[in-house]
Chain A
Amino acid sequence: MIDPRLHIISKRLGGIKRIIAVSGSKGGIGKSTVASALALCMAKNGCRTGLLDLDLSGPSTHVILGAEGLYPKEDKGLVPPEIHGIKYMSIIYFSGNNPSPLRGQDISNIIIELLTITIWGQLDVLILDMPPGISDSILDIIRLIKRMEFLVVTTPSKIAIDVMKKELRILVELNIPVIGILENMRTKEFSALPDKISDLSIPLLGSINLDESIEDAMGNADKLIKTVFFGQLEKLFIEQIKDSRYA
């Protein structure tokens, strides 16, 4: 028996220059907010951008972006609708606001199906909002999407850093390119993270301060773009954005 879907995925992703997986092993570290804001940032700066929410057990980028009333267009597959200049794909088009109790094999199948039927076309960058943890779904995504670069998000929390380091060790072992580590929700003036990751050969891209105004910007991309959080993220990623645009 052959699963034909596995043979078309590289072609479906063939028109995309860069694929950036926004990852972070702990839940609640702002990974989906970073993924959504990074996609907004890329689109705002002239990159043809896609965002694929692969956190299938807890999709949330639609809440952050205020994506309501959207549905993909059928044209020899599913063409993602655009929101704020981003081609946006999520399981919520199919599950709505209902819970989807899924086992590992079901999650793997959904990821494969989404990668098979989504017609992205030409993109400068596709941002993936990854599920938390180092689960079979992460391993599937690594197996299926060959040209991925990881952006690993953490908070200053000892727990988050400890779990992140385990993820990074696996990524290094698998020879997966890692753009760097992003410290989110920093509360102190000086970051302790450089000392804590000195044993890893992964660059620290920078830190973003805890921004309490972010909650008010959820669901409103125009407000999100005006937050301190977004400004700091844009500053940190301006070179990455240029690389993506001119790659």
Chain B
Amino acid sequence: MHEWALAESVICTISDEINKNNLSRISRVTLKIGELQQIDIEIFRFAIDTVLESYELAVDKASIVLETEPCTLKCNTCESEWSFKEHMRKMQEDDAEAIHFIPEIAHTYIRCPSCGSPDFNIRKGRGVWIESIEGEV
């Protein structure tokens, strides 16, 4: 249910952008959902639609599009790259849940598969962000 907090941040941002740019109509909002945060897409979609109604914005639900992005991690020590999916399969449920709440907690539970270092970058697919908001004045 923590998806609701993130969904509200998205709708709040759309509202701010409408006001900032005097938009009369939103044609498309593209959201990227990074794999590392393991967002439940169904819950998130439902939360987005429900929060949108409560904000009473002139935005069609269908104009908010969700796209998932795979997560890639890169070791700062040996420069290996690997996907979070590889780790996901062998992770404890509690560890995966901690990363769900705070994606950077990956540094606590994941090590580079090549050299064992905890020093890696989350190159892409971290969490929720808005790629674009398209609309008309």
Contacts and interface: CB of A to CB of B under 8 A. Distances in A.
Contacts of B16: 7
Interface residues of B, number: 32
Interface stretch (A37-45, A102-110, A170-178, A231-239): A102-110
A132 to B, nearest CB: 20
Contacts of B130: 1-4
A74 interface: yes
A1 B126 CA distance: 14
B101 A117 contact: yes
A91 B102 contact: yes
A86 interface: no
A182 to B, nearest CB: 31
Given A77-B5, A109-B126, A7 B13 contact: yes
A216 interface: no
Nearest to B130: A2
B4 interface: yes
B2 A98 contact: no
B53 interface: no
B49 interface: no
Nearest to A3: B129
Interface string B11-47: 0110011000000000000000000000000000000
Contact of B12 (A8, A95, A103): A8
Contacts of B127: 113
Contacts of A109: 103-104, 126
A88 to B, nearest CB: 16
Contacts of A11: 12
A143 interface: no
A101 interface: yes
A100 interface: yes
Interface of B: 1-2, 4-6, 8-10, 12-13, 16-17, 98, 101-105, 107-109, 118-119, 121-122, 126-131, 133
Interface of A: 1-5, 7-8, 11, 74-78, 91, 93-96, 98-103, 106-107, 109-110, 113-114, 116-117, 119
17 contacts: A2-B133, A4-B9, A4-B10, A7-B9, A8-B5, A8-B8, A74-B1, A78-B2, A91-B102, A95-B105, A96-B108, A99-B118, A100-B104, A110-B102, A110-B104, A113-B103, A116-B9
